A and B are shown apart, each in its own frame.
Chain A
Amino acid sequence: MPGVRTPNGRVAELEPAMAGAAKATASGRAARDLVVSNVRKAFDRTEVLHGVDLHVPEGAFATMLGPSGSGKTTVLRIVAGFERPDAGTVTLGGKDLTALAPRARGLGMVFQSYALFPHLTVEDNIAYPLRVRRMKAAERRRRVAEYAGRVQLEPYLGRYPHELSGGQQQRVALARALVFEPRLLLLDEPLGALDKRLRTDIQEQLKELHREIGITFIHVTHDQAEAFALSTLVVIMRDGGVEQAGAPEQLFHEPATLFVADFVGGANAVPATLLERGVHGAHLQLHDGRRLRVPPAQVAPGVGASGDVTLVFRPDAGTTLASGDEHPGDDVLTLAGTVRDVTYLGGKYELSLDGGGARARVHSGAAAAIGATVHACWALDCCRVVGQPDGGG
């Protein structure tokens, strides 16, 4: 596990896992980590960021993931300098950027709409940040050719943006944001406007670029699959705060809250009471009276010694039981329910079960009839104990 779990899941520390990151830290200079500390921001007296903390190690591919309105784009715009925070600081490699204008920060940014200059050719669009920096013509041409090559745009240098497809425009925006070799690349939902197939291609290209160039990428999306496909560090945002940050594997296997579990995997949740915690695990009582013991590693940080908690478990971690085998053992959670819906996922089915007090979804190799009674089970080391829904873990 590359990530280090933190007590409240708000600050993420992550060992650089990527080749580019390893190269950058091996060079010996001080790491240019991006640190966002206690950033607050209000628009029209409504606070949209309530003290955001973020630590992105140099060379990471970090993604801020969250539903719309969670504040992820505002954080990105504050890092870029397009918004000024009401409180808090943004530092890069120890240097305070908070009061600097966007142009003084030297960061690359890809806008959601790409923001290509319609009156300039692809070549002049890519050359724009170099002209701003008064780079000599020969060096400028060499640099434009290099970065156009990196994103396979050489044949289109003479075209205007409106003559390009969405994917090509996106690559122009990328080349323009990278050509002046910024210390950080910010991407605001750059794949949002593209169709699914193209998105997969561009995701691979983005990862390749990140490996080759080795600088920190910070990306914003509401798409969990995209975040997991791209990132070494995922920051889950909710209601203007960081809910949890960590490697994708960590978020998937060790969600700190019900919100995270639901957002990254689509979790089942049943309420339970934590009776006591010990070295051998947490003793829980379900509302139907059943008692379970969950391994200690599966109790989220922040859960108290006792009290009301939530047991979460993913549909794909469970199996259905053949009739006559309804009591497979003590180290499993079993649920029985009436089949409400069946969805074919390709190779397997997802059954929606209604078990009276509890509803749950489970994956199954075989279809089931609507209205049939099905028994399903989950190994307890795949279940996770988190706080109550509004407790925030």
Chain B
Amino acid sequence: MRRRVDWLPLLAGLPGCAVLLGLFLLPVGFLIARSVTDPKLGLSNYHTIITSPAYGHAAWTTLWLSGAAVLGCVLLGTPVAYALVRAGDHPVMRVVMAVLILSFLTSSLVRAYAWFLMLGTQGPVVAVTNALGLGKPQLLFNSFAVIVGMVHYLLPIYTLMLYGSLRSIRYELVTAAEGLGAKHAYALRTVFLPLARPGLVNGGSLVFVIALGFFVTPALLGGAQQTMLSQLIAQAVQQFGDFGAAAATGFLLLVASLALLAAVRRVLLPKSARYG
């Protein structure tokens, strides 16, 4: 009897585990294999990528656009998550929550097109600047448009994730700090912020990794200067049929993402797991 009870959860989880492992390990395995065999055995694909100025530029673009998008999320989303935690019952915050969830559920393609229309020469933003006598600025096909699109896509993810984490912080601790003589801002900085740090780092690194893989947003809203690594991968396959180079780029992007994530968490999350 006992053994059956012990085996049951494993058995129940087995199909799902098989699918998960199969869908992750097999493609990554194929990817690595392809990157060192296509068109010929060896590291020539990696050599080409590392020495190519186009890839170097795309890697740098990917990094800084993603970083800027994360910064935008942190600056805009953190106060929203805090407001949701502290005043979630307020009618305004209920609407904000609904908007967050709805935009979370909207496809990235739709949202990129929405910005395309918003920022285009026939769009409302240009109409307003024109009416104010500021002319017709080119708002599309630059870093600004890409960052706006990225932040818009990532903000609900970041905010909802941070909200979940901030909600578990006992606000009574801030009250206690004020009772011990602290001003509100001091109490938030010395008590709430340190306790919120794991949530900030987790939310920030999650959206950063998602940003590294962006394709639709820079393709639609960016220009040639805003080419990101994912676009180069698509280009390698669609325009040149070069599956080896695409595989090698994908693998490098994966390794770089994991390495960055590990480094950021190591620096920003000391001992945090220990808090009971």
Interface string of B61-95 (1 = CB under 8 A from A): 00000000000000000000000000000000000
Given the known A-B contacts A118-B276, A162-B275, are A129 and B178 also in contact in the complex, defined by CB atoms under 8 Å? no
Verify A128–B195 contact, CB threshold 8 A: no
Interface string of A115-138 (1 = CB under 8 A from B): 101110000000011001100000
A385 to chain B: which residues have CB within 8 Å?
none
Verify B175–A133 contact, CB threshold 8 A: no
Verify B182–A103 contact, CB threshold 8 A: yes
Given the known A-B contacts A111-B172, A115-B172, A162-B275, are A106 and B181 also in contact in the complex, defined by CB atoms under 8 Å? yes
Q: Which of B170, B179, B186, B191 contacts A102 (CB 8 A)?
A: B179
Interface residues of B in 161-215 (CB under 8 A from A): 170, 172-173, 175-183, 186, 190-191, 194-195
Q: Which of B170, B181, B186, B194 contacts A115 (CB 8 A)?
A: B170
Q: Which residue of A103, A109, A162 has the most chain B CB atoms within 10 A of its CB atom?
A: A103
Given the known A-B contacts A117-B191, A119-B275, are A109 and B176 also in contact in the complex, defined by CB atoms under 8 Å? yes
Query: How far is B183's CA from A176's CA once the two chains are assembled, in angstroms?
Result: 17
Q: Does A42 contact B (CB under 8 A)?
A: no
Interface residues of A in 9-52 (CB under 8 A from B): none
Query: How far is B177's CA from A111's CA once the two chains are assembled, in angstroms?
Result: 11
Q: Does A71 contact B (CB under 8 A)?
A: no
Query: How far is B183's CA from A107's CA once the two chains are assembled, in angstroms?
Result: 14
Q: Does A101 contact B (CB under 8 A)?
A: yes
Interface residues of B in 232-276 (CB under 8 A from A): 274-276
Verify B180–A132 contact, CB threshold 8 A: yes
Given the known A-B contacts A115-B170, A115-B172, A115-B173, are A103 and B275 also in contact in the complex, defined by CB atoms under 8 Å? no
Query: How far is B182's CA from A128's CA once the two chains are assembled, in angstroms?
Result: 9
Verify B275–A102 contact, CB threshold 8 A: no
Given the known A-B contacts A103-B181, A132-B186, A160-B274, are A118 and B195 also in contact in the complex, defined by CB atoms under 8 Å? yes
Query: How far is B181's CA from A107's CA once the two chains are assembled, in angstroms?
Result: 9
Query: How far is B186's CA from A250's CA once the two chains are assembled, in angstroms?
Result: 46
Report A244 CB to chain B, min CB distance, Å. 29
Q: Which of A103, A113, A118, A163 contacts B179 (CB 8 A)?
A: A103
Query: How far is B180's CA from A133's CA once the two chains are assembled, in angstroms?
Result: 10
Q: Considering only CB atoms, which chain B residue lies closest to A177 in the complex?
A: B180
Q: Considering only CB atoms, which chain A residue lies closest to B169 in the complex?
A: A118
Q: Considering only CB atoms, which chain B residue lies closest to A176 in the complex?
A: B180
Query: How far is B182's CA from A101's CA once the two chains are assembled, in angstroms?
Result: 10
Verify A119–B195 contact, CB threshold 8 A: yes
A109 to chain B: which residues have CB within 8 Å?
176, 179-180
Q: Does A294 contact B (CB under 8 A)?
A: no
Verify B177–A107 contact, CB threshold 8 A: no
Verify A82–B179 contact, CB threshold 8 A: yes
Verify B178–A102 contact, CB threshold 8 A: yes
B179 to chain A: which residues have CB within 8 Å?
80-82, 102-103, 107, 109
Q: Considering only CB atoms, which chain B residue lies closest to A80 in the complex?
A: B179
Query: How far is B182's CA from A102's CA once the two chains are assembled, in angstroms?
Result: 9
Report A123 CB to chain B, min CB distance, Å. 15
Interface string of A161-189 (1 = CB under 8 A from B): 11100000000000011001000000000
A101 to chain B: which residues have CB within 8 Å?
178
Q: Which residue of B175, B181, B186 has the most chain A CB atoms within 10 A of its CB atom?
A: B181
B180 to chain A: which residues have CB within 8 Å?
103, 108-109, 128-129, 132, 176-177, 180
A82 to chain B: which residues have CB within 8 Å?
175, 179
Report B150 CB to chain A, min CB distance, Å. 32
Q: Which of A111, A119, A163 contacts B176 (CB 8 A)?
A: A111
Verify A103–B276 contact, CB threshold 8 A: no
Interface string of A78-91 (1 = CB under 8 A from B): 00111000000000
| Nearest 7 CB-CB pairings of A with B | A162-B276, A115-B176, A129-B180, A132-B181, A118-B275, A119-B194, A102-B179
Residues of A within 8 A of B (CB): 80-82, 101-103, 106-109, 111, 113, 115, 117-119, 128-129, 132-133, 160-163, 176-177, 180
Other than the given A80-B179, A129-B181, A132-B182, 14 more pairs (CB < 8 A) read A101-B178, A103-B182, A107-B179, A113-B172, A115-B172, A117-B191, A118-B275, A128-B177, A128-B180, A132-B177, A132-B181, A160-B275, A162-B276, A176-B180
